[in-house]
Structure 1
Amino acid sequence: MVSSAARTFDLVIAANRLPVDRSVSPDGTVTWRTSPGGLVTAMESVMHEREAAWVGWAGFPGEAPDPFDDGLLRLHPVGLTAEDVTDFYEGFSNDTLWPLYHDVIVPPTYHRSWWHAYRRVNEKFTDAVAEVAAEGATVWVHDYQLQLVPAMLRDRRPDLRIGWFNHIPFPPVELFAQLPWRAMLLRGLLGADFLGFQRPDDARNFLRGCRSVLGASVKGDVVTWQGADDGRLGAGPRVARAGSVPISIDAEGFRKLADSPGVRARATEIRASLGDPEVVLLGVDRLDYTKGIRHRLRAIEELLADGEIAPPQVTFVQVATPSRERVEAYRTLREQIEATVGRINGDFSHLGDTAVHYLHQSYGREEMAALFKVADVMLVTPLRDGMNLVAKEYVTARHDGGGALVLSEFTGAAEEMRSAYLCNPHDIAGLKETILRAIRDDPALKRRRMASLRRRVRRHDVQTWAEAFLTALDAAPGKPAVRKEVSS
């Protein structure tokens, strides 16, 4: 990655984080490595042949590094202060919006100072995007951290074509109405020409919110707002379209990775290290209260107590990637999960035979692909999830015909992956029965289920998603205005 002279681009991506993480060696040398996040994984294969700019936070507080290039992709860091990180990211984004948008599984926290930080940081992103966007460029804004950027950018640069995609659920208006700044967020989003959501219900929730909160007119998937003569953010009239464009993975690339000799060899090593059990159950999640890890562990514990499963014949591996550890709810969750794992292993493990293998760490794509190949049953059981790409990666990795996917009804993936073993993770008895079916069903039936799932993911991969979104954005109502002035 090398520095480059200032220039503008016809396609600009704006997301909370850059697609790379900084690594500083003991001698002070700085290198950048591809991030492991879901958005980066999804966008990586889409962007590698496009000349574009990516605007995002570099991942550490302080002054932003100079822009630099990663192949054809220009990386334009946004600087956040330590206060920004605390109030905008950990506060408003992850302690206000995240729980509100995930069915209030934990109560959201509302602080005016966090809201002011959210506005301030969205303005920083707007400044950066306006700087790198060429005349008439297409700007693709991502996710819940940047919901004010579309209107801020529209006010600054009316010549741009602006799209926004939400990677998490969008709440029903009955929950969204709790938010003191609900109208301003909707005004911010209406700066976009097209708004993409994971599920049809999410798009409908947004449209209902515009009608209920703003008094906008909604016809089909088009929302028309007459504006407000108050001089505030996004006051002008707007026409925008909202629709479901479910995200996916680079299916062919991940299949090739999973089939590589190194991954196959590593999968053999992993299974041997687990004691060559008859059945390996696997969960892979960020350590987040939305992922249903506690409910999953309860189901496993009851299955062990019932004698339905037992080591060494059956073992459960739970990977819990560290996440937002400075937020109190996440620290509490980690303590609860680790206590539960300790109790289960104390009650049901034997010397050399562990009931639950708990791994609180991050792994690279190769290691994850190897774990997927080992898993006889994959447990993807969030209480609420926008999509869940792990489910799609798992079925792609198991192109050998093996495996079984237990999938929560409350994931976006369940809209597409109807051949999975669908479950309600709140129903512990039902979850237990579903896990046993996934273990015990006829192998031929399981192979047919997995083949159907693989076909779906292969036909609707990440390239299909990106093309569908950009096509919808290009066809959205309205045409960009002629640019008259650009302010810094």
Structure 2
Amino acid sequence: MSKTIIVSNRLPVRIAKENDEYQLKVSEGGLATGLGSIYKQGDNVWIGWAGLDVDKGDEAEITNKLKQENLCPVYLDPEEIQNYYEGFSNETLWPIFHYMSTYAQYEQVYWDYYQSVNEKFKKVVLEIAEPGDIIWIHDYQLLLLPQMIREALPNTTIGFFQHIPFPSYELFRLIPWRAELLNGMLGSDLIGFHTYDDVRHFTSSATRVLPIQTTANVIHKDDRNITIDAFPMGIDAKKFNDLTHTEAVLQEKEVYNQIIGDTKIILSIDRLDYSKGIIQRLLAFDKVLSENPDYIEKISMHMIVVPSRDNIPQYRDLRDDIDKLVGNINSRYRTPSWHPIHYFYRSFPIETLSGLYSRADICLVTPMRDGMNLVSKEYIASKTDETGVLILSEMAGASKELIEAIIVNPNNLGEMYRAIVQALEMPEEEKISRMKNLRETVMKFDINHWVKIFMDQLAAVKNHEKSRRAKHVNSDLRHQFKEALNSSKKRVFFLDYDGTLVNFKGNPLEAKPDAELYQIIDDLNKDEKNHIVIISGRKYETLGEWFGHLPIDLIAEHGAWKKFDGGVWKETPNLSDKWKQTVRPMLESYSDRTAGSFIEEKRFSLAWHYRKVEKGLGDLRANELISNMRYLTREKGLQLLPGNKVVEIKNSEINKGKAALAYVYGKGFDFIMAMGDDHTDEDIFESLPEKAITIKVGSSVSEAKFYLRSVDETRALLQHISS
């Protein structure tokens, strides 16, 4: 029976040694809670770092304890932790992904360890994984792992979710190992982010760094389709909602009320990190007090900063700056009975946090950049009385969902100041209205909903991919095709040319028909029931020169020209080519800076060929061209066709599918076979009747029902059918 394997940097437990015995303490994070519904079931398992440096002699004891909880440890030594985790993960990826590029360190030793630790995770996964298992990998510490597993288990189902932002291309390109990281992630079937912005940034980076193609949010790579989508993460909303009614939390609130009285609380909770915008928050609060002296002794900020990596210079400096600024503000505004800021540099139990959430009048969540930010959702879930105001940074992923919050730019001190004043002065009715809507969102889209929609989407993506992977035409299928042919009375064969009947050449004019191809067509033509149609993107003059003397029908330039029953060439009426005046200069600019590329002009299309271009460079240029041309072609009613080493622009009224459908209409064909190799042939596969035998050449990912691996297999099938 298949199982689900969750893989993350850390296990959802903390391991501590007490009285010479290892104890497991369950983490209270949202991810651990949400995925608990998965990893605790049946044979499912969660793989991750055990969280401490363990003596070799103790590994067996810890492994057995964890196994009882459906957990499997990965053991890392101090050097691996220092270079893979503290180094590459947190000193290279973290600052780049949070738009703090000046803090990034590009050490080769960090990268070497990052690769080796991802390999270590892979080995643990492969010891457990079996055919049919689902593997869900989490976060930036394991970006290489999906492809590593894919290489070992090509058909397995792999999902990946990133919990921090994905930067724009201009930031991501700074990483020396950017291509390796992208290739690692693209080993997945489904890649999830918190926001659509992250989806766009990832897709843009992938297409500009790698020789791949995209359609909407689907990336095509190595005969596979990878879906990129947004899944905003929720929290265990019920848990935070219910906590507010527990005795422990009610006592916490009572203590706060006795100490604080009617003072309005502005709450700030963060881990120590330069991405959280803590300094900017303090400056905004300082401005509130300096410009509104009436608020003195009536409001106070409760700031909790959870210690994090303060052995690193920039974190230590940030902590010192916070200390100084808090001290400065307190010294200038405090009175004998009142402190403006209550600052705590430590963590608190969840009951204490719940009491603070419940009591706080305002929650200030203003990171400079954040993947989601769950503090904002925890605050909302804790406001069971539907009061309170959330001030939220537009740079946090949560801002895309929590639109009833006061949304601010954390870089704009004046806007932050005005938001705090607005929250303090907001009428009670408005507070309740906003909070009610926020709570509906948070309670509905909770952590369990997030897990469900990701897993459902992963299953749907994999099923769709399987359905698209057309069956390879083996001997049994060849026999079935021959039987269907023999029992039919009127047949048509739609045959693409380049990549289907002949292999590609560096110079397209060199890809002429050979004697074997002419013989195949001649053998098919011997049966008067057969109608042969060569349907190609080639110029009509070229097809006429090569096949005009044969008793077959020709459709050239994707349907712009037709030659039937030995007659003359006829063009599709009412087509214009005036658009070429605008498009051609753009194509010429790409040819000028891409050695080996050239432009082919047809009556109603332009094609930019890059078969002779250095491997990889041509694909990158093609992706750039497609990206830059997309809006122009849409505006002018044109269609962009990425093909095999070619990008073609043509009138959108023309496509092979329309031409093929028009050809068969009303003619009573009871046997239809269509064969093609690239994107332009997908139109044929989609347009023809369900009974048609559609075959993709060179790829199994297609709308076609079947596939062949090569031109040689195509010819062999046609020879078998005609024999």
In structure 1, the partner of 2:128 is 132
In structure 2, the partner of 1:199 is 195
In structure 2, the partner of 1:90 is 86
Shift of 1:418: 0.3
**Gap change, CA 1:265 and 1:175, over 3 Å in 2:** same
1:19-61 C-alpha deviation (Å, 9 max, x unpaired): 1112222x22221112244432443456555652111111112
In structure 2, the partner of 1:99 is 95
Instruction: From the CA coordinates, give the structure whose radius of gyration is larger.
Output: 2
Verify: 1:412 aligned to 2:412, yes or no. Answer: no
In structure 2, the partner of 1:180 is 176
**Structure 1 range deviating more: 322-331 or 207-216:** 322-331
Shift of 1:323: 1.2
Instruction: With the length of structure 1 as denominator, give the TM-score of the two structures.
Output: 0.90
2:133 is paired with a residue of what secondary structure? strand
Alignment of 1:282-301 (within 5 A): 282-301=267-286
Verify: 1:60 aligned to 2:46, yes or no. Answer: no
**Gap change, CA 1:454 and 1:28, over 3 Å in 2:** same
Distance 2:86 2:324 in 1: 25
2:461 is paired with a residue of what secondary structure? coil
In structure 2, the partner of 1:356 is 341
Alignment of 1:265-414 (within 5 A): 265-273=251-259, 275-308=260-293, 310-414=295-399
Structure 2: which 5+ runs fail to align?
A: 470-723
2:451 is paired with a residue of what secondary structure? helix
**Gap change, CA 1:45 and 1:401, over 3 Å in 2:** farther
In structure 1, the partner of 2:483 is none
Letter in 1 for 2:442: V
Distance 2:66 2:53 in 1: 22
Distance 2:303 2:35 in 1: 26
Verify: 1:12 aligned to 2:28, yes or no. Answer: no
Shift of 1:266: 1.2
2:32 is paired with a residue of what secondary structure? helix
Letter in 2 for 1:82: P
Shift of 1:364: 2.3
**Gap change, CA 1:50 and 1:105, over 3 Å in 2:** farther
Q: For 1:122, which of 118, 133, 151 is the aligned residue?
A: 118
1:256-306 C-alpha deviation (Å, 9 max, x unpaired): 122222212211212323x22430000011111111101001111121222
1:208 is paired with a residue of what secondary structure? helix
In structure 1, the partner of 2:421 is 436
In structure 2, the partner of 1:23 is 16
Q: For 2:234, which of 248, 252, 256 is the aligned residue?
A: 248
Distance 1:171 1:307 in 2: 38
Contact 1:286 1:320 in 2 (8 A): yes
1:134 is paired with a residue of what secondary structure? coil
Letter in 1 for 2:16: S
1:60 is paired with a residue of what secondary structure? coil
1:407 is paired with a residue of what secondary structure? strand
Shift of 1:68: 4.0
Contact 2:30 2:447 in 1 (8 A): no
Shift of 1:168: 0.5
Contact 2:194 2:397 in 1 (8 A): yes
Distance 1:364 1:124 in 2: 34
Letter in 1 for 2:435: M
In structure 2, the partner of 1:451 is 436
Distance 1:68 1:13 in 2: 18
Contact 1:105 1:290 in 2 (8 A): no
**Structure 1 range deviating more: 320-329 or 471-480:** 471-480
Distance 2:126 2:119 in 1: 10
**Gap change, CA 1:380 and 1:364, over 3 Å in 2:** same
Q: Alignment length, in residue pairs?
A: 462
Letter in 1 for 2:444: R
2:103 is paired with a residue of what secondary structure? coil
1:389-408 C-alpha deviation (Å, 9 max, x unpaired): 11111111002121110001
* CA RMSD between the two structures: 2.0
Identity of aligned residues (%): 36
Contact 2:365 2:390 in 1 (8 A): yes
Distance 2:287 2:209 in 1: 45
Letter in 1 for 2:459: D
Distance 1:373 1:458 in 2: 16
Distance 2:377 2:252 in 1: 21
**Gap change, CA 1:192 and 1:127, over 3 Å in 2:** same
1:325-366 C-alpha deviation (Å, 9 max, x unpaired): 232221111111111111111111123311111111112222
Shift of 1:375: 0.6
**Gap change, CA 1:127 and 1:21, over 3 Å in 2:** same
Shift of 1:112: 0.7
Structure 1: which 5+ runs fail to align?
A: 1-7, 227-236, 482-488
In structure 2, the partner of 1:485 is none
Alignment of 1:224-239 (within 5 A): 224-226=220-222, 237-239=223-225
Contact 2:34 2:451 in 1 (8 A): no
Distance 1:170 1:120 in 2: 23
Contact 2:301 2:342 in 1 (8 A): yes
Distance 1:443 1:96 in 2: 46
Letter in 2 for 1:60: L
Distance 1:331 1:431 in 2: 26
**Gap change, CA 1:47 and 1:10, over 3 Å in 2:** closer
Contact 1:49 1:72 in 2 (8 A): no
1:187-235 C-alpha deviation (Å, 9 max, x unpaired): 1001100000000110111111111000210101110124xxxxxxxxx
1:135 is paired with a residue of what secondary structure? coil
Letter in 2 for 1:56: G
**Gap change, CA 1:309 and 1:405, over 3 Å in 2:** farther
Distance 2:327 2:160 in 1: 43
In structure 2, the partner of 1:460 is 445
In structure 2, the partner of 1:475 is 460
1:113-137 C-alpha deviation (Å, 9 max, x unpaired): 1000100111111111112223210
In structure 2, the partner of 1:231 is none
Distance 2:264 2:407 in 1: 19
**Gap change, CA 1:45 and 1:342, over 3 Å in 2:** farther
Distance 2:33 2:91 in 1: 25
Shift of 1:74: 1.1
Instruction: With the length of structure 2 as denominator, give the TM-score of the two structures.
Output: 0.62
1:325 is paired with a residue of what secondary structure? coil
**Gap change, CA 1:283 and 1:49, over 3 Å in 2:** farther
Q: For 1:146, which of 142, 149, 155 is the aligned residue?
A: 142
**Structure 1 range deviating more: 186-195 or 9-18:** 9-18
1:252 is paired with a residue of what secondary structure? helix
Distance 1:298 1:16 in 2: 35
**Gap change, CA 1:128 and 1:192, over 3 Å in 2:** same
2:209 is paired with a residue of what secondary structure? helix
Distance 2:2 2:327 in 1: 53
In structure 1, the partner of 2:75 is 79
1:140 is paired with a residue of what secondary structure? strand
1:360-380 C-alpha deviation (Å, 9 max, x unpaired): 111222221111011100001
| Structure of higher RCO (CA pairs closer than 8 Å, 6+ residues apart) | 1
